[in-house]
Amino acid sequence: EVVLTQSPATLSLSPGERATLSCRASQSVSSSLAWYQQKPGQPPRLLIYDASKRATGIPARFSGSGSGTDSTLTISSLEPEDFAVYYCQQRTSWPPTFGGGTKVEIK
Amino acid sequence: QVHLEQSGAEVRKPGASVRVSCKASGYTFTTHGVSWVRQAPGQGPEWMGWINYFNGHTSYAQKFQGRVTMTKDSSTRTDYMELRSLTSDDTAVYYCALMTAVFLFDYWGQGTLVTVSS
């Protein structure tokens, strides 16, 4: 199965700063990569799909890029509600797999 | 709006079984099916399997083969996931997720905590 490695494990930033999260796949996932945000006690929430398409209702400060084995989620200017854990997920190969997550915390 | 309502928390002893339900409402679009995803404490999500709404077929992750059964009651728009031979490693929050495309988890239930303890 495809292993997704996310880095860094933790990102300590202040509101208004730019966040750059990385997801590396053990083999090519083409552009079939999604990003989810999860807050404590809540289910994951779809942010980005097919590497760069924002899901319904997702603010423009969230953007995704990349293809093949390397993908990036960028939050252009952190809002207080953006501090959470972010997961990448691939759906190119069976079974679908998730990364281990990046926690974006307040510095 | 789309809403997935899951059944409440469960506590089971090792060796027992558990069944979690997921009732969908508020959507009229065509959906590809429902997946079940679990998340152990402090861990990332783990996909367990899914039901294809187009043909009713199920597909399970190898790790759960022979131990999980996913079913659907179309008349009530309710999906079920049964996991058998529970161990403490099965302690997790179990989610159902509605998919508008293959393995794209657009909408999630609120989660059901299953605790396995003697």
Q: Is the pLDDT of residue B29 over 80?
A: no
Closest residue in A to B43 (Cα) is A100
Q: Do B95 and A43 touch (CB under 8 A)?
A: yes
Query: CA B50, B81, A55: angle at the middle one, nearest 5?
Result: 45
Quick check: B94 and B111 in contact, CB under 8 A? yes
Q: Do A91 and B102 touch (CB under 8 A)?
A: yes
**Residue B12 pLDDT:** 98
B56-89: per-residue pLDDT in tens?
899 999 999 999 999 999 889 899 999 999 999 9
Rounded CA-CA distance A75/A61 in Å is 5
Higher pLDDT, A83 or B102: A83
Residue B54: which pLDDT band, with cuts at 50, 70 and 90?
A: confident
pLDDT > 90 fraction of chain A, expressed in percent and rounded: 100
Average pLDDT, chain A: 97
Rounded CA-CA distance A39/A56 in Å is 18
Rounded CA-CA distance A23/A57 in Å is 23
- How far does B33 lie from chain A, in Å, by closest CA? 14
Residue B15: which pLDDT band, with cuts at 50, 70 and 90?
A: very high
A62-96: per-residue pLDDT in tens?
999 999 999 999 999 999 999 999 999 999 999 99
pLDDT-wise least confident of A85-94, B27-36, B101-110: B27-36
Do the bridges between strand A53-54 and strand A10-13 make them parallel or antiparallel, or are there none, so unpaired?
A: unpaired
**Residue B68 pLDDT:** 98
Quick check: A84 and A38 in contact, CB under 8 A? yes
**Residue B55 pLDDT:** 87
Q: Which of A21, A47, A89, A90 to mutate to test the interface with B (most CBs of B within 10 A)?
A: A89
Q: Do B61 and A91 touch (CB under 8 A)?
A: no
Residues 6+ apart with CB under 8 A from B74: none
Q: Do B61 and A49 touch (CB under 8 A)?
A: no
Rounded CA-CA distance B74/B54 in Å is 12
Query: CA B48, B54, B57: angle at the middle one, nearest 5?
Result: 45
